[in-house]
Structure 1
Amino acid sequence: MTASVPLARGHEARDPVPAAAATQVPSDRAVLRAVGTLMATTPATADGAKRILSAAAAQAGMPGTVLAAAVLDASRGVPVPARAERALRQALQAARTPDPVPASRPCLMPLREDAEEALDRFFETRLRLTAAPADPEARQAFEDALFTLCILMGRPCPAEAVHEAVQYTEG
């Protein structure tokens, strides 16, 4: 048995909703549980999970509480409307995709010697970690060197920071 979910604009949904979702009364509690579920299944903060839920609800054209109930139903193995699932998948993908950093953004660059020293430390700690992957001190030294490069080069992504540092020291 299926029921229609009213859209935010007052139209009927094209995708049927399982009876389990239609019989449950969506509430703010469902939203809180859905946010917790998104936090657990997606590397997101509470605010990030709320934004994902809100963006998916807007994309699907349904109230946030109804989409939250669909998220909870999905976690229980109950089928959800295709448009809700599609909207949630798109919102998750958009949240995981970092905003592109303009290449010509104005920023202060470190001294070339500091960048070379940080790169040398990074490569040394990477070799040390490769030689002893179970060593917690080697892991900590590697993560510290990587963090230093990220801060020094002003890049949130470690791969970008290493690439930027190599380009900067060679150029």
Structure 2
Amino acid sequence: MTPAPAREAERILSAAAARTGLPETMLAQGMLADSRGLPAPARAERALRQAVQASRTVDTPPATSAPRLLPHEADVERALGRFFDARLRLAAAPADETARRAFEDCMFTLCVLMAEPCAYAAVREAVQYTEG
């Protein structure tokens, strides 16, 4: 539902569980069912969508008073390429721990390059930076 390292995905799942009062295992089963094309319980699906949307919203406003160093565009392009490759490898083999670590490393690199604490925002900023 959203590009996120394992820790952030756990946080999203916990937030959805806390919001609805449903156990995390029920939400995880709903996510698994959804990934297999089976209907997830409506309450679980709604809570997960709200938690994902909240994770995509950056809580801290960008600092406009201090200048920010911009990364070299070629470095951002390489990092994005590695990110998209790692995401494909992880999608092809979700249980592969090496693929998961590579994906999380790519996410961390993009967060550092783009000075964004939120993984979704880092990818969005990197794409906009290289396109514009």
Which category describes the TM-score, using the shorter chain as reference length? 0.5 to 0.7
Tell me which protein shows more helix as a share of its residues: 2
Q: 1:161 maps to what in 2?
A: 122
Q: 2:100 maps to what in 1?
A: 139
Amino acid corresponding to residue 153 of structure 1 in structure 2: M
Spell out, residue by residue over 1:114-148, the C-alpha distance to the aligned partner (whole angstroms, 9 max, x if none). Answer: 00000000000000000000000000000000000
**Structure 1 residue 102, shift from structure 2 partner:** 3.9
Q: Percent of aligned pairs with the same residue? A: 58
**Structure 1 residue 104, shift from structure 2 partner:** 7.4
RMSD (Å) for aligned C-alpha atoms: 2.1
Q: 1:3-82, aligned counterparts within 5 Å?
A: none
Structure 1, unaligned runs of 5 or more = 1-41, 44-96
Q: Does 1:130 align with 2:91?
A: yes
For 2:127 and 2:64, the matched residues in 1 are separated by 15
Structure 2, unaligned runs of 5 or more = 1-13, 16-57
Q: Which has the higher contact order (CA 8 A, sep 6+)?
A: 2
Aligned-partner SS, 2:94: coil
Aligned-partner SS, 2:71: coil
When the two structures are aligned, how many residues end up with a matched partner? 77
**Structure 1 residue 98, shift from structure 2 partner:** 2.3
TM-score (norm 1): 0.42
Structure possessing the higher radius of gyration over alpha carbons: 1
TM-score (norm 2): 0.54
Aligned-partner SS, 1:155: coil
